[in-house]
Amino acid sequence: MEAFFIFILKMKRELKKFLIYVLFLILIACNDKGTHNSLSGNYQLDEAKKLIEAINQDSINEIDKVKFVDRAVQIIQKQESNKDYNKYLFDAALGYYKLKQESKLNKLVFRLLEKSKIEKDSLSIAKAYNLIANQHINNVKNDSAYYYIIKAEKLFIRIKDSLNLGKNYIDKAFVQYYVNDLSGCELSSIQALNYLKKFNEVQKEYDAYNLIGICSIESKNYENALTYHNKALSLVYKYSSIQKSKMHYESSSLNNIGYAYQNMGNYANAIKNYRKALLAPNLLDESPYIYSTLIDNLAYSKFMLNENSNLPALFFEALKIRVKNRMYSSAILSKIHLSEFFYKKNDSTNAKKYAIEALNDSKKTNVSGDFLLSLKQLSSIDHKNSSQYSKEYIKISDSIQLEERKSKDKFARIAFETDEIIQEKDKLAEQNRSLLYFFVGTLFVGLLLFVIRTQRAKNRELMLKQQQQKANEEIYNLMISQQATIEENRVREKKRIAQELHDGVLGRLFGARLNLDSLNRSTDEESINSRFNYLNELKNIEQDIREISHDLNREKHALINNFVAIVNNLLEEQSNSFEPELTSSMDEKIQWDAIGNTTKINLYRILQESLQNINKYAQAKHIHVEFKTDENTLTLKVTDDGVGFEVDTKKRGIGLQNMLSRTSESEGTFEVQSKKGKGTTITVSVPLVQKQVEA
């Protein structure tokens, strides 16, 4: 019954995988028909993300996974304006990296680099560098890998991205380990741990502990190796996510712990850890490398303890797995262990056979470590040629050490040159900034000087206009004063004449009339008629003189301050000096004596300015000036049939501003009505209630 339930669960799992696979195949088919063209940008990017994530499904074959990423790239590239474009492009490049599509990866990652550099997207640039570095690591191009790792490191430090910086240090540690820079590898791993401790990056933390442990074994610091390999193992037990991984981290850590004990000569503890590691289910199928390593290490520890059970069968089993899975370096190690085993069993023929096979295989793999181990083994079992093998061993060992030193120096030089490039770039950027600041400052100073000079010129112009206005007002007041004096003299003279007429002439005429009247006592008809006619004539003269006297007194009120005369003079001058035909009208009801001189001056100047503007700009043929009044308001209206202008768009000049200012001073309202080709009308209305009578 239990077996049946297990079978059902397995079937459900397989069915789920199959459905997911079919779903993504349908999605690709729809995409190929252009269905995605009708989707919004963000939705399309979500679909691209799902396609990239699908490559982690075991039920999908490698060919379809590549198609998924290809389709995702097509979708992403159509959304280049999206703010997350670089992020999705990197995810697609990472997908190609996982699928080992080197040519597609290179094309995409350099596209990402090009775009990110234009946009100064430091994070995307650094991540691209790191991805390029990992590609070089896979191709065993350690120099190039280290170069890009250093470039990524500098950028991650600059933008203070602790998470990606920690991951980058792990990659750096791997490269340093591959070139046997053990101290550098250990230092980079420790730096990675310092940055990753704030994040839940269990996998990377495990790699850091593991690398420190491996470097410690290589450096023969076995106690330190045990400490860090046990830390790595504790992570495995703490987090089920890596404990249940098909990478078999638990078995790997147990093997490393066992190997540390093995190097310490504590073979019993080594065997204990190896056997515990081999209990992992599906270990051979899912990780033949770890399984074969455990079998070979277990056999070697048993061999060192003289426990010959299952020996040399375990050695041969490990060798068979390694050869089958093309683990050439591991197979060479198995043959060296077999050579040691047979030599100890006094089987020099097999001992020499496997040692020579190991040496020949190491020449094919061209791995210096394998070659050294093979030479060392041959020198210890082939006494006849021991000296020759030893010399060759020493020669190659010295050469390897020299190469390692060169690699370390090269790495140091790469780091130094990268720093120099960055410093030079920063220096150049600083110089560019300084030049920019200088030019901006110079431009600002020049602009400021220009504004100051322009403002001063405007101020001088304004002052001149104000002085001119003041002078005009003084001239006008002088004209008014002069006109008032003339009028006062005229009025005085007229009054004197009127008094003379009234008191002198009329008095005498009145006396004559009385005398003549007395002659009326004559009774003859002729005298009576003559006297009567003469008396009538005297009455007529008397009446004429009275009318002249009254008329002289009334003219005084018609010419108060002579404002009307001054306006008429201005209009007459306009008609005589300029082409437009001028007409005017003035309401006789206007009580000029009730309006103060300030208001009269302002009205006169507004009229004068209006006529000047018409003469300068309007190109008018007709001008009409009108003064009218109602009970409370005096209105001046100046109309022309000139070219006009757009009131809303035209900037008001000083002339219009002065008109508006004068109107405001008189507590009135100012209005301009104009359109292009329709002429212009200026209307000024001032209240009569102000009655600002001035002396």
Determine the 3-state secondary structure of 595 from DSSP. Answer: coil
Please, is 567 exposed, middle or buried when counting C-beta atoms within 10 Å of its C-beta (0-12, 13-18, 19+)? buried
CA atoms within 13 A on the CB side of 133: 26
Which stretches within 239-310 are classed as H helix? 240-243, 249-264, 267-277, 283-286, 288-304
Cα angle vertex 16, ends 10, 18, to 5°? 105
Q: What span, in angstroms and rounded, lies between the C-alpha atoms of 74 and 422?
A: 35
- pLDDT of 13: 47
Over residues 79-104, the pLDDT tens digits come to 776 778 888 888 888 888 888 889 98
Report whether 662 contacts 602 (CB < 8 A). yes
If you count them, how many residues does the chain have? 695
Report whether 208 contacts 189 (CB < 8 A). yes
Phi, psi of 586 (to 5 degrees): -135, 125
Report whether 89 contacts 108 (CB < 8 A). yes
Q: What span, in angstroms and rounded, lies between the C-alpha atoms of 308 and 1?
A: 43
Burial 151-161 (b: 16+ CB within 10 A, else e): bbbbbbeeeeb
Which residues, 6 or more positions from 435, have their beta carbon under 8 angstroms from its beta carbon? none
- pLDDT of 231: 94
Beta bridge pairs of residue 685: 635, 669
Angle between helix axes 288-304 and 267-277 (nearest 10 degrees) is 150
Q: Which helix (H) or strand (E) holds 628?
A: strand 622-629
Q: What span, in angstroms and rounded, lies between the C-alpha atoms of 443 and 483?
A: 58
Over residues 475-493, the pLDDT tens digits come to 666 666 666 676 677 677 6
CB atoms inside a 10 Å sphere around CB 141: 15
Phi, psi of 440 (to 5 degrees): -65, -45
Which residues, 6 or more positions from 532, have their beta carbon under 8 angstroms from its beta carbon? 520
* Angular region, 266: left φ>0, alpha ψ -120 to 50, beta rest: beta
Q: What span, in angstroms and rounded, lies between the C-alpha atoms of 488 and 425?
A: 91
Tokens 């008329």 found at: 551
Q: In terms of Cα–Cα distance, which of 335, 337, 343 is closest to 386?
A: 343
633-640 and 680-687: which strand pairing? antiparallel
Q: Which value, to the nearest 10 degrees, does the dihedral of the CA atoms of residues 230, 232, 233, 234 take?
A: 90
- pLDDT of 228: 95
- List the chain residues with pLDDT less than 70: 1-43, 81, 386, 389-390, 393, 395-433, 465, 468-469, 471-484, 486-487, 490, 493-524, 526-562, 650-652, 689-695
Q: In terms of Cα–Cα distance, which of 229, 236, 238 is closest to 210?
A: 229
Q: In terms of Cα–Cα distance, which of 249, 214, 211 is closest to 233?
A: 249
Strand order in the sheet with 680-687: 581-586, 622-629, 633-640, 680-687, 669-674
Which residues, 6 or more positions from 651, have their beta carbon under 8 angstroms from its beta carbon? none
Determine the 3-state secondary structure of 580 from DSSP. Answer: coil
Alpha carbon 243 to its chain's center = 45
Eight-state DSSP code of residue 683 = E
Angle between helix axes 597-613 and 654-665 (nearest 10 degrees) is 160
- pLDDT of 510: 63
- pLDDT of 652: 67
Beta bridge pairs of residue 627: 586, 636
Q: Which helix (H) or strand (E) holds 127?
A: helix 122-138
Q: In terms of Cα–Cα distance, which of 272, 250, 252 is closest to 262?
A: 272
Return the HEC string of 468-497. HHHHHHHHHHHHHHHHHHHHHHHHHHHHHH
Q: Is the peptide bond before 687 cis (omega within 30 degrees of 0)?
A: no
